[in-house]
Every structure is written in C-alpha cells, then in structure tokens.
Structure 1
C-alpha cells in the first residue's frame, strides 16, 4: 500500500511539474519567431494579406511571424501540417473554408473540428463572376439566358476544383438549371490569363480580379457575397439578381489541437491588433478586401457549423 501510494505521489508530482512547465512556457510566449503557413503559392492576394497581417502580429507580439508557403491539396496543406506540429503556438496555419468541404469530397487525414485550435478570423473572400470587357453579356441575367440557349458552351475558370469559386458556380447551375463547362486552373493568375486570352468565356475570382475590373479589362456581373462589398458596390449580389444563394468564406488562423488557452488568447489579440496596422489596412484597400474579425470562441463555433453545413452543400450540388 505504501509503495502504491508512493508511486501515485510520483505520478502526481510529474504531472504537476509538466503542467507547471507548460504554464511557464505560455507565460513567456512568444520567445522565438512564429511560423505562419499560407497554403497557397506566393504572390497571390492571400499570400500578400497574410504577410501584412504577420508583420502586424509580429509588432504586437514582439517576435517575427515568418510566412511559409505550402501550396496544394486544395488549400489543406497547412491543416495537414498541424497534425504533427507542437501545440505551443509557434507553428500556425491559415484555415480556408475549403478544409470543411474536403472531407465530404475525398479521403483526408484530418478532422477540421477535432484536429485544430481556432484562433481568429481576419477577412472574408468575395467571389466575383466576370466576363471579358468585349463580351456581349452585360448582366448575370444575360449570362444565364445565354447558357440556357447554349448548354455546355459557356466555360468558366476557377482557381481549382472544389474551391469556393467552383461551389458558387455549381450553386448557380443548380438554381437556374443551366449547364456550364468548368475549367479549373492552378490559381487566379492562370485563370486571369486564360480569360484575357479568350481561352475561356467567363471566370469567377476572389478579390484578385479587382485591378482588371478597375482597368476596364473585365466586366463584373455578380458577387457571391451576402452583401455588396465596398470595392464592388456597383455589382449586384447573386441574391439581388434573383438567385437565392451566397458563399460565405471567412479566412482565419488556426493551430494544432490542444493549444493552451492563454497562448490562444495572446494570438487572438495580436490578430485583432494587427488588423488595425496601417500596412495591413493599405493591403485591404488595395485589393478591396472585406475584413471579418471573429475571436477564438466565435471562430471555433463557426468551424463546427461550417463543417456540418458543407455536407449538405456538397451533396446538394453533386460535388461528392
């Protein structure tokens, strides 16, 4: 009995020391640079705004935030990385909404609710349906009418299969009964080049298309936003045009499961502070991005809701 009591005492002491070590580490957090994974290639809108946010976070935390690009797997490479990362707050990832969709489309190694700690969102994507400026199609109603008369002849580019861009157009097909020809590319840059070169007749982009719209090179027909983004104030939403859907797509930062709450709170506050940094605000203006802050609690609740809703979306539009 005495030996057993002694053993339990040793176990309790070890657990106490471990907890104390974790607490001490979180109290001094951060004491070294933090890595933020951007699950897309360098140079795109997401990469640019992530770097601006990282600079602001670095100022708030007193440590550098280093961006690491890991493109592929429909934006899920960062989430996969989190499966083996230490839950100490020094390795984080952007978490696009596509990670909630992928498990219903193909076999994945992660559970987006169970395997991540959600920290905060900082922006939302808006998706804009466009045609070349010399296209005879002037409105989204013209677009649907033409597609009905010419089934399968209207092509549209996206930055990839099963992206939110693809989902938006699949919803348009379902709501209207039209049949379109999907042309997936590796990113917005390739799709923009294809649209400009006349290789596709339309495309749906995130905010990266804003410079081409402002320059008059492409015509914006509709956005999949829940309300008109300021940068596209003259463009109707799909709902306003009579098609009852939108595609919310907030973007945030997550880490591995099991992160200490005080570390999560420090990172959450750093993100909130960084969103007010002048350099971040300038990038927001340059690309017409809508900011969208949700704290760690609201973001975790959104993740659970989105994961449940994506199943219905995928099955409803036949993407599985």
Structure 2
C-alpha cells in the first residue's frame, strides 16, 4: 500500500509539474529551424509567419537557416533537441524519404511531434529567356536526341523538385543530368550564369520571369497559375503528375501535448493573418492547414507513399 501511495504521489507530482510547465511556456525565445537558405521563398514566408506568431505567443521566434541534405537537417536537429518546445523545425516532404535512401537511427513518423501543416510549394521547370527551348516540346525533343546531356538544377538531391523531374523523365523515356544546389538563390545564379540549361524549382523564380530573364515551360499544380497563364500544367502535357509538396512544423518527440497545443494555436492564428497570406501569394503558395492530429496522419500516409516513389525511381538504398 505504501509503495502504491508513493507511486500515485509521484505520478501526480509529475503531472502537476508538466501542467505548470505548460502554463509558463514560453518563458524565453523559441528557435525555428528552416531547411533552406536566407533570402529564398521559404525563408521569406517563414520569417513573416514567425513574426506574426511571436506577437501571439509572447516571445520572439528566431529563425535559424540550416540548408543542405535535401532539406532534412532541421528534422535531424530535432532528434538531439530537448522536448520542451523551444526548438521547432520545418518538415519538408524529403524528411519522409530519408529511411529509404540513407541510414538513419530515427523514425520520421514516430520521432517527431507534428505541430501544424502550413502550406505547400508551387513548382515548375524554367529555362533562360535566350534558351533554344521555346516550349516543353523543344525541351523533350533535345533530351531524346541527346541522352544525359540536358542539365537541370534543383534545390538538392531527393527534394521534391529533383524526384518529380526524374519521375517526369521516366514517364517520357528521357535521361537528364541533375545538378543539386542548396537553395533557390544559388540555383537561379547558376542558370543565369549559363551553368545549367534548366531549373526545377518552386516559383520563387517568378521575379526573374517577370524581369524577362527566365521562361517557364510548365507548372506542376492541378491548374495553371495566374502568374504564368501561358505555362501548361504537367497534366495538360499528358504527364499524370501533380506536386505541391506540403510542409509544416514539428517539435522533438515527447514534447508535452499542452506545449504542442500552444504552438499549434499560435501558428494557426499567425497563418490566418493577411500579412502571411500575402507573403505566400508572392510565390504562388496557399495556406494548407492541418491540425496536429491530421498532420500526424499525413506523415504516416506520406511515409508509405514516398517509399513507393523512391523504389519506382530505383533510388532506394541497398539493404
């Protein structure tokens, strides 16, 4: 009986401590790690969101850029961070491909507390304005006549732009030469400098299109983008692919539910503010809200789906 009373007292004490902690959270700045460099579409929109959420939650939310490794470094950082809500991270789709392409000691579904899904990217393939590829048919014809010689860049190996382009190439029976970069800014400089023949990226390249420096050959959504009305979708081109690559925010495994809820509520309110919606609109992105529970389910289904994609492209790591 004494042992039972002591155990109950310990459990009640732990619950009280957790409850008190959640009530006082946050008492200091929160770090939000994002997967791409400063100055790109992700960085700009996430900084606006963080600024909005800071005012709601009552503490600064400080952005830390951690580019590279196909956008998976923030999720990896969560594995060694305290589960206290003070370190959170962007979770791009590439995180769900990790176990299939490299050896890791953690599980993308079980070892992250999913807080909220925010948005997704609009993607497309673009070429320099002076490129001989005036349209998608020109691009494909050159690739068929010159296997492996058409170079294109993306924001990293195993990112959605890379894998989707490889899927497109597979469907068309063409071979392309992929060159990975750490972010959209480096990628744009490379194609403008003549180091690449094309880029596959989010529509953060829009200002370069509007300035007459790039031409869009296709976009990857369900319908044409208002900003690029002349650029057909993949589906219009006979390619059965739609890609918008949703992403959101995760916290370390074991973060108290009350803390996750506080973070969720603050970011949900922040993403509904017009300043954030307008920031997304600059890059043809829309809010894609998922609650913590729905985002967790999305992680589970995406994890399974991405395995099929990796295997289809022959990119799975040897067992």
TM-score band, normalised by shorter chain: over 0.9
TM-score by length of 1: 0.93
Q: Match of 1:231, SS?
A: coil
Q: Match of 1:315, SS?
A: helix
CA contact (8 A) 2:32 2:90 kept: yes
Who is 1:51 aligned against? 47
Quote how far apart the aligned CAs of 1:278 are: 3.8
Aligned pair 1:313/2:306, yes or no?
Answer: no
Aligned partner (choices 6, 9, 14) of residue 10 of structure 1: 6
- Provide the aligned length of Structure 1 versus Structure 2: 316
Q: Match of 1:63, SS?
A: coil
Quote how far apart the aligned CAs of 1:224 are: 2.1
Aligned pair 1:174/2:170, yes or no?
Answer: yes
CA contact (8 A) 1:37 1:94 kept: yes
CA contact (8 A) 1:124 1:249 kept: yes
CA distance in 2, matches of 1:40, 1:316: 27
Aligned partner (choices 134, 152, 158) of residue 148 of structure 2: 152
CA contact (8 A) 2:118 2:289 kept: yes
TM-score by length of 2: 0.93
CA distance in 2, matches of 1:120, 1:310: 20
Who is 2:213 aligned against? 217
Alignment gaps of 5+ in structure 2:
none
CA contact (8 A) 2:67 2:183 kept: no
Aligned partner (choices 184, 187, 210) of residue 188 of structure 1: 184
Deviation string, structure 1 residues 160-204 (Cα, Å, up to 9, x no partner):
111111101101111100111112223222221221122221111
Q: Match of 1:287, SS?
A: coil
Deviation string, structure 1 residues 27-58 (Cα, Å, up to 9, x no partner):
23323221111122222221111111101111
Deviates more, 1:190-199 or 1:52-61: 190-199
Aligned pair 1:115/2:111, yes or no?
Answer: yes
Change in Cα spacing, 1:41 to 1:221, as seen in structure 2 (3 Å) is: same
Aligned pair 1:258/2:258, yes or no?
Answer: no
Who is 2:123 aligned against? 127
RMSD: 1.7
CA distance in 1, matches of 2:114, 2:227: 28
Who is 1:239 aligned against? 235
Deviation string, structure 1 residues 91-138 (Cα, Å, up to 9, x no partner):
110100000012111112321100011111111012210111112222
Who is 2:24 aligned against? 28
Deviates more, 1:299-308 or 1:136-145: 136-145
Who is 2:204 aligned against? 208
CA contact (8 A) 1:124 1:250 kept: yes
Deviates more, 1:246-255 or 1:30-39: 30-39
Deviates more, 1:78-87 or 1:157-166: 78-87
Who is 2:283 aligned against? 287
Quote how far apart the aligned CAs of 1:71 are: 2.5
Deviates more, 1:35-44 or 1:222-231: 222-231
CA distance in 1, matches of 2:8, 2:66: 41
CA contact (8 A) 2:122 2:284 kept: no
CA contact (8 A) 2:85 2:251 kept: yes
Alignment gaps of 5+ in structure 1:
none
